[in-house]
Amino acid sequence: MAAKKTILTKDKIVSLYMNYVLDHSEKPKSVYHFAKINDFTEAEFYAFFGTIESIEKEIFKMFLEKTVELLNKNKEYEAYDMKSKMLSFYFTFFEILTANRSYVVLVLKEHNNQLKKLMQLSELRISFKNYLIEIISDEFRTQQEKIQKFQEKVFQETSWIQLLLTLKFWLDDSSPAFEKTDIYIEKSVKASFELMNIAPLDSLIDFGKFIFKEKIHNK
């Protein structure tokens, strides 16, 4: 009696793809090749993804979705203020990235072309901006009432840039348990929220000193 074929799912394809990249230090040459070595058909692949590149985008989106899922399991999270929610997001998100660091480093450092890197993160960007909309508090909206739509858009864009900068710092971080990234997160998030409250000097100076020290130390 023939063995029953495992049902193919989106998560299964993602897992197979990540394993392939880690084992071969490169992405599959084609959908045909990837499907053949994993014993499924191209048609089965296309039921979930249109291209190999779309898997790469989906993986980073899934990292974010897992982050939000874990945050929402914490009963206290809903009562957090915006800054606490953002800090919780960062620490959880980078824990997930750290658990998958070999893959993340490989795929993000393979391209010298910054545009290609950003393309891989395009779905992450959309999902992250949607997350930001969810955590914007009524207090923040009231404070920025006169320029609400503009201010919210600025908040989304600057927060995305901040996430990219933190990702870059984490990729280059060689400290034990990536403890310097934790410090970077705390200082950068605090500084960004004080900027929104127009009270930035102490945290900005503190954050600036930390970055300057890291740059000098790593030269």
Model pLDDT, residue 52: 94
CA angle 24, 29, 30 (to 5 degrees): 130
φ and ψ of 63, to 5 deg? -60, -45
User: Is residue 129 within a helix (H) or strand (E), and if so which, with residue range?
Assistant: helix 122-135
Q: Are 59 and 22 in contact (CB under 8 A)?
A: no
Spell out where 103-205 has E strands: none
Measured CA to CA in angstroms, residue 139 lies from 79, 88, 90, 135, 154 at distances of 13, 19, 22, 11, 17
d(CA 87, CA 85): 5
Nearest CA among 8, 80, 75 for reference residue 38? 8
Each residue's pLDDT tens digit in the chain (219 positions)?
445 567 899 999 999 999 999 999 999 999 999 999 999 999 999 999 999 999 999 999 999 999 999 999 999 999 998 899 999 999 999 999 999 999 999 999 876 666 667 888 999 999 999 999 888 865 565 555 544 565 777 788 889 999 999 999 999 999 999 999 999 999 999 888 877 764 444 554 465 556 656 655 555
Model pLDDT, residue 77: 95
**What are the tens digits of pLDDT across the range 60-83?**
999 999 999 999 999 999 999 889
What residue ranges do the domains of the chain occupy?
Answer: 10-46, 61-217
What angle, 0 to 180 degrees and rounded to 10, lies between the N-to-C axes of helices 82-99 and 148-172? 30
Contacts of 9 (CB under 8 A, 6+ apart): 48
Model pLDDT, residue 208: 58
Q: Are 120 and 56 in contact (CB under 8 A)?
A: yes
Model pLDDT, residue 147: 46
